[in-house]
């Protein structure tokens, strides 16, 4: 299996746990010997994945459960092209249900070779049967409310660009190459817009449907209808975290024109680039507005073209009184209100770039994210970086919106 890296893997930690070097506290009624046996089973399973050893992988599956063997063989084959450099299961809980059955709560941690500086982490549930004194896997699935994985949806195809890797299900090679081309262009565009260090590597996941996207995000499909793409990852990251994924909604993305597709991927790539400078102190009007500013930068789109919903509102006499609140960015909220929130944030960042300069916009973004808490973060950055106050900035933004969209 050419997609998988050989050599040392992330299963070293599991080996240490079996040897008695400690580990997380376990829930349930598991006994030390049973816990160690389950860890060894999971360790063998992980080593089989990174070593591309299908026979050894299937040896961890209940030999009497033919349906489980078929499912696990299909999952293993779906992983064939994925370039894994590590794959590790960390046992966090084990519960017996009768004498011969058990359920393990595990944390799956894996990395893509050449793209992830830190592992992706996913909560999983592994069901087990005990036969002839040995534990075997009968199934593995996402834990309750946890996101699923792309290879659970079908055979994963992989295409690499210069700076991006695209993993897709139900997409042909030409379609994935086009995603990779646009992702490479997004990396170049973000590099010009954001002069801080970032890995300059993108991982793009393209499921077959909106439902597939929702599964990867662990959320209802209704939350993402009409949303072309989402970037995963925790805010306030460091050089070691996180492992971001751009998850595409092929239904919404597919109806966009060439420019729209490029803007979407550049927007999401900006979130990846700015992750280490984004924190709980960063309001969504700034993080989303900056990503849109980066996406539209250099495209020649006018304010009215890029902010049609807000344009309609302003021409109807509904000039916003304040910058968008975080709650206005909820994907499940009214579509017009959501669009106006994004457009208002974009115009705020566009105004800063035009009137204070692009360097000041970047400095302002970083200064807000560096604040210890949300309260006072924007106010302090406005004062220290832009030399203005909240009321003055808001009034200036409202004037700018009126001037750009009022005619």
Q: How far apart are CA 152 and CA 141, in angstroms?
A: 9
Q: What is the pLDDT of residues 75-126, one digit of tens each?
A: 999 999 999 999 999 999 999 887 789 999 999 999 999 999 889 999 999 9
198 and 316 share a domain?
Answer: no
32 and 108 share a domain?
Answer: yes
Q: What phi and psi values does residue 11 have, to the nearest 5 degrees?
A: -85, 0
The pLDDT value recorded for residue 406 is 86
CATH code of residue 247: 3.30.2010.30
DSSP 8-class letter at 239: T
Residue 15: pLDDT band by 50, 70, 90 thresholds?
very low
289 and 239 share a domain?
Answer: no
96 and 210 share a domain?
Answer: no
Q: Which residue has the tokens 């040897």?
A: 19
Please give the C-alpha separations between residue 249 and each of 108, 163, 204, 220, 309, in angstroms, as whole numbers: 24, 21, 11, 13, 22
Q: Is pLDDT at 10 greater than 90 in this prediction? A: no
> 52 in helix, strand or coil?
coil
402 and 334 share a domain?
Answer: yes
239 and 352 share a domain?
Answer: no
Would residue 1 count as lying in a domain?
no
Would residue 6 count as lying in a domain?
no
CATH code of residue 55: 3.10.450.50
Order the strands of the 229-231 sheet from edge to edge: 156-160, 164-169, 202-206, 246-248, 229-231
Residue 242: pLDDT band by 50, 70, 90 thresholds?
low
Task: Give me the domain span that covers residue 69.
Answer: 12-146
Q: The pTM is what?
A: 0.89
217 and 155 share a domain?
Answer: yes
Q: Which residue has the tokens 């449907």?
A: 209
294 and 399 share a domain?
Answer: yes
Residues in the chain: 407
167 and 285 share a domain?
Answer: no
The pLDDT value recorded for residue 261 is 98
Would residue 7 count as lying in a domain?
no
Q: How far apart are CA 369 and CA 324, in angstroms?
A: 18
Enter the tokens of residue 379: 């106010």
């Amino acid at each position: 299996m050419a997609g998988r890296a050989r050599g040392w893997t992330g299963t070293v930690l599991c080996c240490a746990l079996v040897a008695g070097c400690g580990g997380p506290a376990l829930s349930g009624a598991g006994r030390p010997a049973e816990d160690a046996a389950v860890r060894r089973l999971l360790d063998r399973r992980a080593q089989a994945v990174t070593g591309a050893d299908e026979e050894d992988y299937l040896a961890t599956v209940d030999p009497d459960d033919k349906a489980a063997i078929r499912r696990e063989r299909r999952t293993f084959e779906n992983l064939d092209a994925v370039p894994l450099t590590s794959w590790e299961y960390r046992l966090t809980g084990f519960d017996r249900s009768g004498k011969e059955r058990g359920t393990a709560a595990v944390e799956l941690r894996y990395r893509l070779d050449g793209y992830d500086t830190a592992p992706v982490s996913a909560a999983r549930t592994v069901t087990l049967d005990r036969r002839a004194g040995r534990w075997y896997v009968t199934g593995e699935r996402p834990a309750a409310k946890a996101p699923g994985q792309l290879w659970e949806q079908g055979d994963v195809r992989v295409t690499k660009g210069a700076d991006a890797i695209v993993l897709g299900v139900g997409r042909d090679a030409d379609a994935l190459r086009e995603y990779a081309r646009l992702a490479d262009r997004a990396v170049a565009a973000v590099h010009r817009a954001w002069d801080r260090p970032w890995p300059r590597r993108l991982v793009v996941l393209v499921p077959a449907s909106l439902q597939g996207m929702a599964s990867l995000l662990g959320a209802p499909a209704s939350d993402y209808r009409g949303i072309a793409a989402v970037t995963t990852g925790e805010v306030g990251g460091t050089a070691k975290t996180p492992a971001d994924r751009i998850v595409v909604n092929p239904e919404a993305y597919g109806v966009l024109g060439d420019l729209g597709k490029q803007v979407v991927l550049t927007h999401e790539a900006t979130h990846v680039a700015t992750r280490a400078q984004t924190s709980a102190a960063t309001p969504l009007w700034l993080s989303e507005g900056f990503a849109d500013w980066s996406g539209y930068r250099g495209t020649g789109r006018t304010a009215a073209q890029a902010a049609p919903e807000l344009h309609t509102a302003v021409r109807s006499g509904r000039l916003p009184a304040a910058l968008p609140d975080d709650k206005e960015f909820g994907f499940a909220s009214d579509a017009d209100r959501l669009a106006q929130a994004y457009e208002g944030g974009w115009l705020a960042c566009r105004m800063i770039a035009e009137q204070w300069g692009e360097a000041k916009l970047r400095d302002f973004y970083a200064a807000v994210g560096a604040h210890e808490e949300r309260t006072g973060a924007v106010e302090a950055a406005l004062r220290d970086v832009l030399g203005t106050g909240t009321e003055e900035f808001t009034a200036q933004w409202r004037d700018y919106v009126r001037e750009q969209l009022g005619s």
